[in-house]
């Protein structure tokens, strides 16, 4: 008997959002159970300023490996690259994204990417939302107290947006299979 499309889309999983950076990398962990989205943890991986760039990437790799293993993430969402303040910043961000993708792939998780504006729009209703607006929306939607770091809230926004998109896809597939 062939599996239907819904069977291939899990309705229960752990999701880690990652906002990569070469000095600070935000992460947010959500647990998805059907229509329920539960905040598990969030934080920032701080990489030593005095360390060389390769040393920071290695520390980022080790930290992400521990996080993905600890929470047994089956899906990882990583912020898409954008052109920042300078080409050098964009290249460093690209390296940090590469480390995040490598560790997600090594863990066996499915990897998804969203632009910052898409995540902001999904969480607040507008892609032009401020970081403060994103934090406020996350606090309301996830029932959180204070989120003290924008890198962590950016990662949580990526994760929440993906969880909402995933849930919508499940509903659409279920509806199409009823026809």
pLDDT digits (tens, 9 = 90+) for 8-55: 467 789 999 999 999 999 999 999 998 899 999 999 999 999 999 999
With H, G, I as helix, E, B as strand and everything else as coil, classify residue 65.
Answer: helix
42/131 Cα distance (integer angstroms):
16
120 closest CA partner among 158, 78, 76: 158
111 closest CA partner among 92, 98, 124: 98
97 closest CA partner among 110, 114, 120, 80: 80
DSSP letter, residue 81: P
What pLDDT does residue 179 have? 67
137/153 Cα distance (integer angstroms):
10
93/23 Cα distance (integer angstroms):
10
- The CATH number that applies at residue 53 is 3.30.420.10
As a whole-number percent, the residues of the chain with pLDDT over 90 amount to 75
Among candidate residues 12, 50, 55, 79, the one labeled active-site is 79
Is 12 an annotated catalytic residue?
A: no
What pLDDT does residue 146 have? 84
92/151 Cα distance (integer angstroms):
16
pLDDT over 60 at 177, yes or no: yes
Q: Is residue 89 within 8 Å of 20, Cβ to Cβ?
A: no
What pLDDT does residue 169 have? 83
Number of domains, the chain: 1
Among candidate residues 19, 36, 133, 165, the one labeled active-site is 19
Among candidate residues 151, 154, 165, 177, the one labeled active-site is 151
What pLDDT does residue 83 have? 61
Is 36 an annotated catalytic residue?
A: no
Is 79 an annotated catalytic residue?
A: yes
Domain extent, residue 84, equals 5-178
């Amino acid at each position: 008997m062939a599996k239907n499309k819904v069977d291939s889309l899990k309705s229960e999983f752990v999701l880690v959002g990652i906002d990569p950076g070469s000095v600070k990398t935000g992460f947010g962990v959500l647990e998805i159970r059907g229509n329920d989205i539960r905040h598990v943890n969030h934080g920032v991986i701080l990489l030593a300023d005095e360390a060389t760039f390769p040393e920071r990437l290695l520390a980022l790799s080790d930290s992400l490996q521990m996080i993905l293993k600890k929470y047994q993430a089956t899906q990882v969402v990583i912020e898409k690259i954008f052109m920042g303040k300078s080409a050098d910043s964009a290249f460093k961000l690209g390296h940090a994204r590469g480390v995040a993708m490598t560790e997600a792939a090594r863990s066996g998780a499915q990897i998804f990417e969203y632009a910052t504006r898409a995540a902001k729009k999904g969480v607040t209703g507008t892609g032009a939302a401020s970081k403060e607006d994103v934090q406020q929306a996350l606090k309301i939607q996830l029932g959180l107290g204070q989120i003290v770091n924008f890198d962590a809230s950016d990662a949580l926004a990526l994760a929440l947006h993906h969880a909402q998109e995933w849930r919508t896809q499940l509903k659409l597939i279920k509806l199409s299979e009823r026809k």
